[in-house]
């Protein structure tokens, strides 16, 4: 069975960790724009240098660059055959339209959108804590606040789009890893998505 999922939420909501758990349970690859960008930064590629300059300033990577990377990854055989879990894309209305067009060209659609609800103060605390542990230069307090502002103005509204389509599951993202994972699985089980 093919399962196409999207996980969204503010930075620090646990998308990466929960996305990995869900993807493993459903046997689908995680398509994380953040991971793709970080791998390029670490590898010192042309894309990596460009992305690093953008993210160090607290900005988000432009839609055209991100769309190209995502469509390339979703065109690979594992994503076509088994499905995928998108993490970090789409993050605004233009990217939703791009993804809709891409999926329609493959006669496909998202099966569910998982929205991790986490209060802003919790997000900031998690991200700044992670920055200290991982030494990430893009997680300064100002950069985090800027990215959360962008999330609230651009990404949060896409939840309404997916809610209108009947594919949005709003999940309380505060609690232990296991509690949040259980909430996600309960919502997906209710959609009869087979693990």
> Is 162 inside any structural domain?
yes
For 142, the 3-state DSSP assignment is helix
* Cβ-contact 149, 94 below 8 angstroms: no
Angstrom distance (rounded) from CA 115 to CA 146: 20
**Cis before 90? omega within 30:** yes
> Is 155 inside any structural domain?
yes
> Is 64 inside any structural domain?
yes
Q: How many domains does the chain have?
A: 1
> Is 136 inside any structural domain?
yes
Give how far Cα 1 sits from Cα of 28, 82, 104, Å.
10, 7, 18
> Is 120 inside any structural domain?
yes
Cα 182–Cα 187–Cα 192 angle in degrees, nearest 5: 115
> Is 185 inside any structural domain?
yes
Confidence of residue 58 (pLDDT cuts 50, 70, 90): confident
Q: What local confidence, expressed as pLDDT, does residue 118 receive?
A: 94
> Is 72 inside any structural domain?
yes
Angstrom distance (rounded) from CA 184 to CA 173: 9
Q: What local confidence, expressed as pLDDT, does residue 87 receive?
A: 94
Angstrom distance (rounded) from CA 25 to CA 22: 5
- The answer, yes or no, to whether residue 127 has pLDDT greater than 90, is no
Angstrom distance (rounded) from CA 153 to CA 136: 24
* Cβ-contact 37, 51 below 8 angstroms: yes
Structural domain including 99 reads 3-190
**Residues annotated catalytic, as ranges:** 15, 91, 130, 136, 147
**Domain containing residue 21: CATH number:** 3.40.50.300
Percent pLDDT > 70 in the chain is 98
Its pTM stands at 0.85
* Residue bearing the bigger pLDDT, 118 or 133: 118
> Is 195 inside any structural domain?
no
* Residue bearing the bigger pLDDT, 69 or 185: 185
pLDDT in tens, 149-183: 988 998 889 999 999 999 999 999 999 999 999 99
* Residue 70: CA count within 13 A, CB half-sphere: 28
């Amino acid at each position: 069975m093919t399962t196409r999922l999207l996980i969204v939420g503010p930075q620090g909501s646990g998308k990466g960790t929960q996305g990995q758990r869900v993807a493993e349970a459903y046997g689908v690859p995680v398509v994380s724009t953040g991971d793709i960008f970080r791998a390029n930064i670490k590898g010192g590629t042309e894309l990596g240098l460009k992305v690093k300059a953008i993210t160090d300033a607290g900005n988000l990577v432009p839609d055209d660059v991100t769309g190209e990377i995502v469509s390339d990854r979703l065109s690979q055989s594992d994503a076509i055959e088994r499905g995928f879990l998108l993490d970090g894309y789409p993050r605004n209305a233009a990217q939703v339209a791009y993804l809709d067009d891409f999926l329609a060209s493959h006669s496909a659609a998202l099966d569910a959108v998982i929205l991790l609800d986490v209060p802003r103060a919790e997000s900031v605390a998690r991200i700044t804590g992670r920055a200290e542990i991982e030494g990430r230069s893009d997680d300064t307090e100002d950069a985090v606040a800027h990215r959360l502002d962008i999330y609230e103005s651009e990404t949060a509204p896409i939840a309404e789009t997916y809610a209108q389509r009947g594919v949005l599951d709003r999940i309380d993202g505060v609690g232990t890893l296991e509690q949040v994972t259980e909430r996600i699985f309960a919502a997906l089980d209710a959609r009869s998505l087979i693990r």
